[in-house]
Amino acid sequence: MAFKTSSATYVSPFPPPVPFERRAPILSPDGYIRLQFACLAGLHLVHLYSDSDPDFLQELKAQTVSARIAGFCEWQSKTEPAVSLGWGWFIHSQSDRMMLAPDPVRSNVMLIDAQGYDLGQRQTANLFYAWLGEFEWRSTVGGFLNHSFSAC
């Protein structure tokens, strides 16, 4: 990599750094995989598990959430190390729509900014929640639940 000053051109013996958005996920010593949001959004996530949870349903009802079924799901990337995202969901009693539960998304990812600094747990969780509003998860989880209930 070459760079210029006002009086000379220098050539670095090191390759140019790989931009964060093109780096493969790397596990940090604290257990987090650090990614920029664009990199997370580009990952292909695979449905790993879904199940209804009567205890979680009661917790939501205690928070005055109008739910008739509630549960959890987990999704995972096929990268090494694997990115994992899990969240609570519920089926709204009046509209029959599957919705994100008002609890934090659980993940082994810490989102970072363009300079590589952590966004922090709160901002990472908020971005996950917003992203999941657009991510197509409802039909997969709903299909899994329909299959589970019909097998009983």
Helix (H) or strand (E) run with residue 144 in it: helix 138-150
Q: Does the pLDDT of residue 125 top 60, yes or no?
A: yes
Helices (H), 1-104: 37-42, 54-62
pLDDT band at 144 (very low <50, low <70, confident <90, very high): confident
Distance between first and last Cα of the chain: 63
Q: 75 with 48: CB under 8 angstroms?
A: yes
Q: What is the mean pLDDT of residues 7-19?
A: 52
Q: Does the pLDDT of residue 103 top 80, yes or no?
A: yes
Tokens linked to 32: 């987090």
**16-150: which CATH topology?**
Nuclear Transport Factor 2; Chain: A, (3.10.450)
Report pTM: 0.79
Helices (H) and strands (E) in the chain, counts: 4, 9
Structural domain spans, the chain: 16-150
What is the rounded distance in angstroms from the CA atom of residue 13 to the CA atom of residue 131?
Answer: 40
pLDDT band at 3 (very low <50, low <70, confident <90, very high): very low
- Give 67-84 pLDDT, tens digit per residue: 999 999 999 999 999 999
